[in-house]
A and B are shown apart, each in its own frame.
Chain A
């Protein structure tokens, strides 16, 4: 796709967004140059998605307990998952000690023979603009192939500068965006650099390649007030529209939520820290939701997920919970 074409639909995407439209896939589907190739063969496998740990600096914190329980459960899963994806917000305020604590937990996975991949969330980022996170974990966006599936991870929480004009300190900047309803922070997205990278990354993949994309925030317009959105999701969906099917998994919402747009299925992951209530908008798939939570039980409303992909790229995402959180028909998993 040529740059100029993309810029056109970036504008179109923004217009649709400003108008508050719950934007379906933009109509400009002009990616036809991809070569057809023989069908990818997937060897069925399972991976785990865990995230939104929101670890605080203080020792023996309640969110240490829930994250540790998730890590233990993952290590004890049989058969072992092929890998773990941490989907952002390891820390609460991006502090070195919080991130170090989180890395100690994650490294237990590696020592148990389970590799992990990680993308950042806003809570990891805005104290030092990702400096510590990148020193610990490397690139905040990446892709890899595993058993016939192309996996993509992106950093979706990049906002315009709201701090310089307000003369905010790094700590004030962090505290502001640590509020879900921050009303000075603006909408976030992946930005131009990652859009260009994504185009290059998928350029030579055939349309029948199975693709899974991870972002901290949803790639559809759910509730912008809480940044339950990604500003340039329309462009991402457009770039990925050449594929027969894309599975998009996100964190940030701390709840069970599901949607479909064009060739994509979207599913949200639970936090290990705390659950979030549903926002004041209609859910696109209201049956795929969790029950109200007992605030007296630190293990209620939280958990993680495991995704099984079969050889035809049909997937099932199963929420692992420690309380009676799920309606009967999604207890065994949500089809992807």
Chain B
């Protein structure tokens, strides 16, 4: 990805010290996935990420002028790879979407989005994309993780 470096992160074997090891045993998709197909599908994804980026920086989600980006530049400290996890402030095991709505309702003083809305999907896509490459750590509610290191541009192609 041009202009973007993912962090060299803790290896998969380091996850929570439970001695899990991963055997990378992938299978290729069968045709008709052509290079062109893959490019078009990726374009769709990036379009959703871009929409999420715009919403992330829009005061329209809330009522006090704040945006998601006030506290989460480049989606920092959203930790999407740690969901689902018990969220103290939500009072139960929460998904990333529930946490996004919590932020919209409290810090932004806005109205929660339907969880299956295009807007919610876009916000989620942006946050996850800015944490690409991280191993999943469901339940990790003790740490703040930085997003990918961005050298230039919006952080996605």
- Residues on A close to B: CB < 8 A? 56, 58, 61-62, 92, 179-181, 183, 225-226, 274-281, 292, 294-296
Assess the A274–B77 pair: CB atoms within 8 A.
no
Least CB distance from B79 to A in Å reads 10
Complex contacts, A275 vs chain B, CB 8 Å: 71
Q: List 10 A-B contacts (CB under 8 A).
A: A181-B155, A225-B149, A226-B73, A275-B71, A279-B149, A281-B149, A292-B77, A294-B88, A295-B103, A296-B106
Q: Does B70 contact A (CB under 8 A)?
A: yes
Chain B residues lying within 8 Å of A281, measured Cβ to Cβ, are 146, 149
Whether the pair B143, A292 counts as a contact (CB closer than 8 A) is: yes
B150 contacts the other chain (CB 8 A): yes
The answer to whether A278 and B146 touch (CB under 8 A), given A56-B64, A295-B103, is: yes
Given contacts A181-B69, A276-B73, A277-B146, contact A295 B106 (CB under 8 A): yes
The listed residue (A61, A279, A294) touching B64 by CB distance below 8 A is: A61
Chain B contact surface mostly: loop
A295 and B73 contacting across the interface, CB-CB below 8 Å: no
CB neighbours of B146 from chain A (8 A): 277-281
- CB pair A276–B150 under 8 Å, yes or no, is no
Which residues from chain A contact B74 at a C-beta distance below 8 Å?
Answer: 181, 225-226
Residue B76 is within 8 A (CB to CB) of chain A in the complex: yes
Q: Is B144 an interface residue (CB 8 A)?
A: yes
A234 CA to B64 CA, complexed, in Å: 39
B73 touches A180 (CB 8 A): yes
Asked whether B150 lies within 8 Å of A292 as measured between CB atoms, the reply is: no
Q: Is B11's CB within 8 Å of the partner chain A?
A: no
CB distance from A14 to the nearest CB of B (A): 17
- The distance from the CB of B70 to the nearest CB of chain A, in whole angstroms, is 6
Which residues of chain B have C-beta atoms less than 8 A from A225's C-beta?
A: 74, 149-151
- Give the nearest-CB partner of B153 in chain A: A183
Q: Which residues of B contact A274 (CB under 8 A)?
A: 70-71
B90 CB to closest chain A CB, in angstroms?
10
Complex CA–CA separation, A61 to B103 (angstroms): 17
Q: A179-B57, A295-B89, A295-B107 are in contact. Are A58 and B70 (CB under 8 A)?
A: no
Query: In the bound complex, do residue B152 and residue A183 qualify as a contact, i.e. CB atoms below 8 Å apart?
Result: yes
Chain A nearest CB from B105 CB (Å) reads: 11
Chain B 132-157 interface 0/1 with A at a Cβ cutoff of 8 Å (1 = within): 00000000000110111111111100
What distance in Å separates the Cβ of B61 from its nearest Cβ neighbour in chain A? Answer: 15
**A-contact bits for B74-90, CB 8 A (1 contact / 0 none):** 10110000000000110
Complex-state Cα separation, A295 to B66, whole angstroms: 13
Question: Distance in Å from the Cβ of A92 to the closest Cβ of chain B?
Answer: 7
